[in-house]
Amino acid sequence: MTAITPELVAAHQLTPEEYQRIVRLLGRPPTYTELGIFSVMWSEHCSYKSSRLHLKKLPTRGPHVLQGPGENAGVIDIGDGWAAAFKIESHNHPSFIEPFQGAATGVGGILRDIFTMGARPIAVMDSLRFGPLDDPRVGARNRRILEGVVSGIAHYGNCFGVPTVGGECVFEPCYNGNPLVNVFALGVFRQDRIFYARACGVGNAVVYVGAKTGRDGIHGASMASAEFSEESKQKRPNVQVGDPFMEKLLLEACLEAMETGAIVGIQDMGAAGLTCSTCEMGSRGGTGIEIELARVPQREAGMTPYEIMLSESQERMLLVVARGREEEVFRIFRKWGLDAVAVGEVTGDGLLRVKHHGEVVAEIPSRALADEAPVYDRPRTRPLRTAPTEGPAFASQNLKADLLRLLGSGDLCDKRWIWEQYDYMVRTNTVLGPGADAAVLRIKETATSLAMALDGNGRYCYLDPRQGARLAVAECCRNVSTVGALPVAATNCLNFGNPERPEIMAQLVEAIEGMGEACAFFETPITGGNVSLYNETLGEAIYPTPVLGVVGLMKTRPPVTPAFKAEGAHVMLVGGLGACTLTEFGSSQYAKVILGELWGLPPALDMDYEKRVQAAVREIVNAGLAESAHDVSDGGLAIALAESSLEGIGAEVDLPSDMRPEFLLFHEGPSRVLISTRQPGQLERIAARYGVEALRIGETKAGTLRIRQRGRVLVDCAIEQLREPWRLGLERLLKE
């Protein structure tokens, strides 16, 4: 018997107060195995103890929401009796320690969350943040991490057979020691086939399926709940190893087994493995679970109960099967060559009871683990920021050179090198894939398509977390609206530093509140998500980086893409030219890339105007009036015009404004969408009906992009010349 010393408690990242709480809940000191169980279940990663209080401020209900937060994934009604399950999750810490496997198992984990609900995954997207690839000090490491993460995502998603259809990839020095890997997945199913992670029916069998349990990933959840230090590299064994082939078999076997009607509840074994799945299923079902660890299929000999309970070996599921119908389920798993073993049963006593060769090694009330974890109202001050309020005086020497430099910069250049490594078409539903404002997937069984986008902006949030989060919601909804879809629900991944620092806690709370306000306003309730804290290395926190995923609904039809299609179309700016001050310009890509600075505030946002712009754009696109449509965001109007021109048809535009040329071309004010059309009058009438500006700024023109301001030429550039830095930007940075 291992003695429970204060040192052992501390090594489990439990505070003395938390330990006393455990003793109180049990009425006795915990065993070593129980201590391990509590430490993972009460880790930040599993218990949300720092964020839970504030997450309640997020809107979670809406007319399309069938299942909000609290299950493995949120579920929305997509019409015709069909539903979509989706969620985003982070795998930041493992991806830093071991990029390939860290990212791969991130994909594996979120896919299991989706098919656990009974849905077949049809799309994955990734939001990635790395340190700059050309960083003089750690550029080589950043490049290695990027390459590892991308090939890990490709390896897992491609083999599993789910298309990776979009996402974002951004570079900032604050991610040098702490890259972000956020993976979104979405699946579809019939509304009458939703499965829940609940252990119901006393006497029903608890069945373990999938890969065998090994010693990998023990304390992964706790690792994800601590800052990084020099010793973190030694935690490589805490990172799990993924097997996408096994997961593909598990998917097919689970979906087939669900058809039998014998499965009462199901949960995947992700973070905290067998521990989390047993106590959460019991807690949700209001029941207990008793398991015998000797029956758990094991990869290694001599594993202790502690190790078996805390292992995070991948590709495993826990099922509750109606008593007497086990064989129906076993037969299906045998067909797919997978282990399926009854390891215990549902009990009526509300306890998680773990036995090892008949001896009880842990006996804990399920609710104590899952629902009675400590909740902290951590102290907070003002959000951390050191950036100046006012910006430097500057004047562009050459606007065209600035544009070309921006197009070749890490954040704005072509990301083809990344997404061509992903199979973005498998399952033949991808109507609009990577490189567009939003991805569009058709649902073969209905006339509906789903649009989806991921957005987040660490720079904006660092300057003002509340406003940055609101802008992320606005942009994500705008992206979905730009392809013609109505945004109906959202999922969020909140990436922040150490919440025990009051200025970081303030960032988290401000961002959650801002996101809540905007999600309520844009009617996109949050149906689930993930919080990743302690994203710090050696005391240096990342920018606060809330990432939002929005899902929208539309009728299935050929896509409207960002590219101008033919000469002679009217180029229009729905939402108008916007406005900008020097203070707001400090958050722009121009300030970052050309000036190498960050100051001031994020762009201003009028949510009411934004919402009307989005509604107008949806109507324009769905009326078939748009030949092309492209959201104006990072890099501003000049970048949007350039991006729409890259396929060869450019434009000649003249902007009726007295703004400073640098602002006019590169400010990132929201609520603007660039559209080319043959019916400008009809488009104007729709815009007028929504009370939004629709400015005719010029015409499409083959081979060239010319931008004037009241007649004076600001930029005159052959498309070939635009394309070169944009296409080669990422590869150039990777070859540094």
Partner 1 sequence: MKFGVVVFPGSNCDHDAWWAITHNLGQTAEFIWHDSESLGNVDAVILPGGFSYGDYLRCGAIAKFSRIMRAVERFAREGGLVLGICNGFQILVEAGLLPGALIRNRSLKFICRQVVLRTETDQSPFTSQLSKGRLVRMPIAHGEGCYVADARTLEELEVEERVAFRYLDNPNGSMNDIAGILNAGRNVMGLMPHPERAADPLMGSVDGLLIFESMVAALSHAR
| Binding-site ranges for partner 1 (CB under 8 A) | 151, 154, 158-161, 243-246, 248-249, 336-337, 419-428, 430-431, 442, 444, 556, 558
Nearest to 3 by CA among 27, 21, 29, 24: 29
Q: Report yes or no: 700 and 633 within 8 Å, Cβ to Cβ.
A: no
CB of 549 to partner 1, least distance (A): 22
CA distance 184 to 87: 6
User: In this complex, which beta carbon is closest to partner 1, that of residue 424 or of residue 496?
Assistant: 424
User: In this complex, which beta carbon is closest to partner 1, that of residue 159 or of residue 520?
Assistant: 159
CB of 211 to partner 1, least distance (A): 12
Q: Report which DSSP code applies to 364.
A: E
* Exposed e or buried b per residue across 333-368, where buried means at least 16 C-beta atoms within 10 angstroms of its C-beta: beebebbbbbbbbbbeebbbbbbbeeeebbbbbbbb
CA distance 312 to 109: 11
User: In this complex, which beta carbon is closest to partner 1, that of residue 56 or of residue 245?
Assistant: 245
For residue 665, the one-letter residue type is L
Catalytic residues: 45, 91
CB of 445 to partner 1, least distance (A): 11
CA distance 29 to 27: 7
User: In this complex, which beta carbon is closest to partner 1, that of residue 153 or of residue 303?
Assistant: 153
Residue 448: φ, ψ to 5°: -105, 145
CA distance 361 to 735: 54
User: In this complex, which beta carbon is closest to partner 1, that of residue 403 or of residue 646?
Assistant: 646
CA distance 632 to 676: 13
User: In this complex, which beta carbon is closest to partner 1, that of residue 337 or of residue 681?
Assistant: 337
User: In this complex, which beta carbon is closest to partner 1, that of residue 58 or of residue 250?
Assistant: 250
CB of 153 to partner 1, least distance (A): 11
CA distance 16 to 34: 16
CB of 417 to partner 1, least distance (A): 9
CA distance 500 to 503: 9
CA distance 211 to 206: 16
What tokens appear for 635 in the block? 């890099």
CB of 255 to partner 1, least distance (A): 12
User: In this complex, which beta carbon is closest to partner 1, that of residue 430 or of residue 709?
Assistant: 430
Q: Given CA atoms 30, 36, 41, 45 in this order, what sign does their dihedral have?
A: positive
CB of 82 to partner 1, least distance (A): 17
What tokens appear for 87 in the block? 């969620």
CA distance 694 to 681: 10
CB of 154 to partner 1, least distance (A): 5
DSSP output for 587-655? TSHIIIIIS----S-PPP--HHHHHHHHHHHHHHHHTT-EEEEEE--TTHHHHHHHHHHTTSEEEEEEE
Residue 217: φ, ψ to 5°: 75, 10
| H-type alpha helices, 122-235 | 139-160, 220-223
